[in-house]
Amino acid sequence: MALSFGGAATQYGAMPAESRYRALFESVRIGPVTAPNRFYQVPHCTGMGHALPQTLVAMRAMKAEGGWGVVCTEYCSIHPSSDDHPYPFASLWDDGDLGNLAAMADAVHAHGALAGIEVWHGGSYVANFATRAPSLGVRSTPGRADPIQSQRMDRRDIRELRRWHLAAALRARKAGFDIIYVYPSHGYLVSEFLSRSLNERTDEYGGSLENRMRLMRELLDETRTAVGDRCAVAVRFAANGHGDEHLSEHEAHDVVAALAQLPDLWDVVLADYDEEMGSSRFVHEGALEERVAYVRRLTGKPVVCVGRFTSPDSMIGQIRRGVVDLIGAARPSIADPFLPNKLRAGRIEDIRECIGCNICYAHDYRGAALRCTQNPTMGEEWRLGWHPEHVPAGGGGSVLIVGAGPAGLEAAHILGKRGYDVALADAAGQAGGRVTHESRLPGLAEWARVRDYRLGQISRLPNVSLHLGSHMEAADVRAFGAKHVLIATGARWRRDGIGRWHAQPIAPLDAAGVYTPDDIFAGRLPEGEVLIFDDDHYYLGPVIALKLASAGVRVRYVTTEGRAGAWSQYTQEQERTQRALIELGVVIEPNLALIGFEKSLATLACIFSGRTRTVAASAVLLVTSRVADEALFRALVGEDRDAQHHAASAPSGSVAVERIGDCLQPALIAMAVYSGHRAARELGSAGPHAQRERVLI
């Protein structure tokens, strides 16, 4: 296998901004403050909150540096009775919280952006596990998931809530925030008062819509009176109501009309998170427009709304049609904190477009600092000192990367920008690895952006060459003569059923009728009655089921979990996934394990009782676990990696060999990209010392 370094590429250069996008960079007056442009990072969770303040400050500051004109906090609790542990929320309970929040506001201001804060009380939704205070509700109501009910609020409780909210607004002003929110949405406390079903009060806070919106009106009035001379007052409101049982869409219109002039800014959302921040499998860019457009017409006030906007044409279209005044973003600002600056400079091709996988939200849902498939530096701005647009210069030399999947592409991209001579080889005829395969499945087309962004970056680096159709053996790698070698050969799906449930291969297992996702990727599709055994629990099993069912295959979906694609609850996809399977006629059988398959019969066992039964199946498709394709790596280094020198200590003439991505650890695409990025950023050095946030006594 003969390869060489270098290859045709165009030099990077900024193009002038197109005049049709200039309106996106106009300033917008919001009450007493002015946003420098129309790019508005709306309040969004981070998995950082009060627990990781330095991590949070650095992340929000990066967005301001990248050109976002407004940068907001996540939900910020006003009182210990609004405690969402174990999820890391922001807090503004007393003056002790001022320092951390002021640090964020100052960091955002340093780059010329406005700082917003989402003042919040969780009501019946939260369990108050840390503070052990009773949760509060308009009536005593079960919480989100725990066997805990809220305390019914009386008049004194309402007065106390108003006092806490006012105190938090004053603290927010003292901390330096420019925009202060009132938050009557998403099922939290103020929205409980709006609900005709939950609100059973017979006083001035219950009954008619006018009475049910009284608390919302009072909080807006009191916040404006207290801080409105210097701070804008925003309201985050569900434009389509909270469902007919609580607040109908017609009533939501009436609320907007009645309170139109009270806030300086309407941040309009939808009641259903699955739709408002739905994954790209189910919700496309700008999908909220039809239901939110009326707000600006009714109020005449500035309006911001999200829509997972990555296309500047979509953004400018919403502005010109009068839907919004500000382009709201959470996920696009995570995928590329420098999206506004790149657009201003005419560098559209350099924007890392959000793929809508919702891995960011999943990490917050799991109580961890958010991560991003497209942006591996997200959450590492303070801990590792990473910048999404700057990498340190390298020490020079040659690098061979074997495997052009997500890890290999990212490594080649970063090493090229560090100045190394990089050859990227892949046995396949197309780059992208698993991303290319998976993006061809139903609903996953936008995931190809992971591949396409990196190929675009590499194409403009003359020191990076891509060699497709280039199978490499150990002898080829040694003969190539690179100083550093990164093995990114990915992983393959197991054909024996080993996974979470089975520690040993399934037996009996008629190999002739066994398929895996790799067969689907290769175009080998089973026919007849197909049983999918999903022990992976994420998107792939259900998506393959949808592909087969759409082609007329009779599909039985069996999983050891209680729901289809159970882990996708963290990415806000599970309910829609289950619904899509049902609508296509897929038979869903939860809490079962496949324990045998022969003679066109599959044996299933209940995971609780062990009871078995057989069902007809012409084929089984196993989605259980993967095996790292590390044959090339082992051929180069053997089993004793202590004999290998790391890049930082490799003597002259030796070759440093490392694994990255799924070859190292079969996992999420986001983790493969991160692995490639970290290996490339730290090549030739010991790597930065990771900083830790901890409480010291």
For 119-174, the pLDDT digits (tens) are 999 999 999 999 999 999 999 999 988 999 999 999 999 999 999 999 999 999 99
Asked whether residue 436 falls in the same domain as residue 552, the answer is no
* Whether the Cβ atoms of residue 260 and residue 298 lie closer than 8 Å to each other: yes
Q: Which of 564, 596, 627 is the last residue of a domain?
A: 627
Q: What mean pLDDT comes out for the span 440-467?
A: 98
Q: What mean pLDDT comes out for the span 111-117?
A: 98
Does a structural domain hold residue 333? yes
Task: Say yes or no to pLDDT of 13 above 70.
Answer: no
pLDDT band at 273 (very low <50, low <70, confident <90, very high): confident
CA angle 609/615/621 to nearest 5° reads 95
Asked whether residue 245 falls in the same domain as residue 209, the answer is yes
pLDDT in tens, 497-506: 999 999 999 9
Closest by CA position to 533, among listed 572, 564, 554, 576: 564
pLDDT in tens, 55-68: 999 999 999 999 99
Does a structural domain hold residue 6? no
Does a structural domain hold residue 602? yes
Place of tokens 């175009």: 523
| Bridge partners, 398 (sequence order) | 421
Give the span between the Cα atoms of 40 and 43, in whole angstroms: 9
**Among 125, 181, 183, 188, which one carries the catalytic annotation?**
188
pLDDT in tens, 415-448: 999 999 999 999 999 999 999 999 999 999 999 9
Does a structural domain hold residue 391? no
* Whether the Cβ atoms of residue 635 and residue 653 lie closer than 8 Å to each other: no
Give the span between the Cα atoms of 394 and 206, in whole angstroms: 66
Task: Say yes or no to pLDDT of 385 above 70.
Answer: yes
* Whether the Cβ atoms of residue 216 and residue 193 lie closer than 8 Å to each other: yes
Give the CATH number for residue 584. 3.50.50.60
Task: Say yes or no to pLDDT of 11 above 70.
Answer: no
pLDDT at site 646: 44
Q: What mean pLDDT comes out for the span 368-392?
A: 97
Does a structural domain hold residue 378? no
* Whether the Cβ atoms of residue 47 and residue 362 lie closer than 8 Å to each other: no
Where in the sequence is the domain holding 507, given as residue range(s)? 493-627
Q: Which of 313, 344, 365 is the last residue of a domain?
A: 365
Task: List the single range of 11-20, 572-581, 607-616 with lowest mean pLDDT.
Answer: 11-20
pLDDT in tens, 164-185: 999 999 999 999 999 999 999 9
pLDDT at site 696: 85
End-to-end CA separation in angstroms for the chain: 60
Give the span between the Cα atoms of 552 and 533, in whole angstroms: 19
Asked whether residue 224 falls in the same domain as residue 307, the answer is yes
Asked whether residue 594 falls in the same domain as residue 650, the answer is no
Closest by CA position to 134, among listed 86, 88, 205, 189: 189
Asked whether residue 455 falls in the same domain as residue 539, the answer is no
Token digits of residue 229: 């001379």
Give the span between the Cα atoms of 566 and 559, in whole angstroms: 9
Asked whether residue 233 falls in the same domain as residue 273, the answer is yes
pLDDT in tens, 243-266: 999 999 999 999 999 999 999 999
pLDDT at site 18: 67
Q: What percent of the chain has pLDDT over 70?
A: 95
pLDDT band at 640 (very low <50, low <70, confident <90, very high): confident
Does a structural domain hold residue 689? no
Q: What mean pLDDT comes out for the span 358-370?
A: 94
Q: Compute how many other C-beta atoms are within 10 angstroms of the C-beta atom of residue 78.
A: 25
pLDDT band at 93 (very low <50, low <70, confident <90, very high): very high
Asked whether residue 123 falls in the same domain as residue 173, the answer is yes
Give the CATH number for residue 303. 3.20.20.70
- The amino acid at residue 5 is F
pLDDT band at 10 (very low <50, low <70, confident <90, very high): very low
Task: Say yes or no to pLDDT of 653 above 70.
Answer: no
Decide if 12 is catalytic.
Answer: no
Q: How many domains does the chain have?
A: 3
Report DSSP letters for 425-450, one per residue.
EESSSSTTTHHHHHTTSTT-GGGGHH
Asked whether residue 279 falls in the same domain as residue 425, the answer is no
pLDDT in tens, 294-336: 999 999 999 999 999 999 999 999 999 999 999 999 999 999 9
Asked whether residue 577 falls in the same domain as residue 641, the answer is no
